[in-house]
Chains A and B, each alone.
Chain A
Amino acid sequence: MTASRENCIVCQIVGNKIPSKKIYEDEFVMAVLDVNGSNPGHCFVMPKNHYPILEQVPDIEIGRLFQASNKISSAIFESLGVQGTNIFVANGIPAGQTVAHFTINVIPRKENDGINLQWQPRQLNEEEMSTVELKLKEQAKNIGHFEKEDKKPRVHAPKPAALSEEEEEYFERQMRRLP
């Protein structure tokens, strides 16, 4: 995987080829104002490296991206006099992802601002709940080996960890779903 993609609009923003209103930047992360945001102050927080979906973003960068999102959310509270903030991620087309570069939305909120991130709760019976519980627990057994922060400061962006063949195929399948 290359660090940036020529035809990716987010990579072009990160590379300053498309003008944007930048509000935050560090080694891994860039945050810009959404000029057609849902509310004034709506921000996009993006990895500088090109990763289409969440699962491809290395742990270290996940940490930095959400730390930056949290700082921005605090800055929104402090400087824009809002009543709340949302952190919103759409991962995959069925989840509403429209650009093939992982992005976190940080959204300032006020009462009755026309944004809807609510849902109608579904009623599942005990059997349905137990089935889904077992399936997810089985997968979650493998969770817990996180890439810790490097001891040495990084100069260059890291290469994504090598994927097993099975995972490569799996991601390829997922990628085809993306625009």
Chain B
Amino acid sequence: MAEQISQEQLRELQEKIKQMSPEELKEFQKKQCIFCQIVAGKIQAKKIYEDGNVAAILDINPANPGHILLLTKEHYSIMPQIPDDEIAHVFMVAKSLSNSMLKGIDAQGTNIIVANGVAAGQRAQHFMAHIIPRKENDGLRFELPQKTMEESEINAVGNRLAAALGGAAEEEKPAQRQEQKKEVAQAKKEPRQKKESDSNINLDDISRILGAK
């Protein structure tokens, strides 16, 4: 945020946000969101690709030259809020953009990174996938240290995750993409049914983002 706000103002704001309905919250976020303005063309950016659902722009603070931010046109603050058919589309585009990097700018590899939540490195309130072109010895170092877990811990964590996913494996149905533009229009008219957990994640996340910095 550009302006400094006092602790009291922050608390008021957080209180206000908590009382908003999901629709009001989304509107509020959109108005605040620089990436919504980029998508709408109100702020200039170097656009690499655009369709009815997504826009890909060059990151102005790139990890490497050609680093792309792939944005949904719809405002989602984190990935779990995005409907399945849009997820599929976003990453089909990501694959094509990665291919563009291998072919167009002599990248020897690519990284795709999504951060959900401040602890994961998320800095903006708008979902984005980073696509980063890589070359040997380019100085980038992502660190995923290995940790050893006890057998019992592995089982406990695995069982909790499998249980949380229990319904999903059974209900899995082919997601069908419709005409992109229709879909966006429809999505605006009838917001997707939200699970209770979605709004919890959302609120926590927003307050953390607002609280940060």
Contacts and interface: CB of A to CB of B under 8 A. Distances in A.
Interface string A48-76: 00000011010100111111001111111
A75 B122 CA distance: 19
The secondary-structure label for the interface of chain B is mixed
B201 interface: yes
Interface string B34-60: 000000000000101101000010101
Among B46, B64, B99, B175, max chain A CB count under 10 A is at: B99
Interface residues of B, number: 88
The secondary-structure label for the interface of chain A is mixed
A110 B175 CA distance: 32
Contacts, number: 280
Contact of A75 (B88, B149, B165): B165
A51 to B, nearest CB: 11
B190 interface: no
B202 to A, nearest CB: 11
A54 B105 contact: no
B51 A144 contact: yes
A164 interface: no
Among B58, B146, B161, max chain A CB count under 10 A is at: B161
Interface stretch (B8-16, B17-25, B132-140): B132-140
Given A84-B115, A86-B114, A109-B120, A136 B177 contact: no
A89 B109 CA distance: 10
Contact of B79 (A70, A91, A93): A70
Contact of B65 (A59, A117, A124): A124
Q: How large is the interface on A (under 10, 10 to 19, 20 to 34, 35 or more residues)?
A: 35 or more
Interface string B79-123: 110101001111111011111111111001111111111111110
Contact of A174 (B92, B102, B140): B102
B134 A95 contact: yes
Contact of B142 (A64, A88, A133): A88
Contact of A136 (B105, B115, B144): B105
A37 interface: yes
Interface of B: 46, 48-49, 51, 56, 58, 60-66, 68, 79-80, 82, 84, 87-93, 95-105, 108-122, 129, 132, 134-136, 138, 140-149, 153-155, 157-158, 160-165, 168-169, 172, 174-177, 197, 201, 208
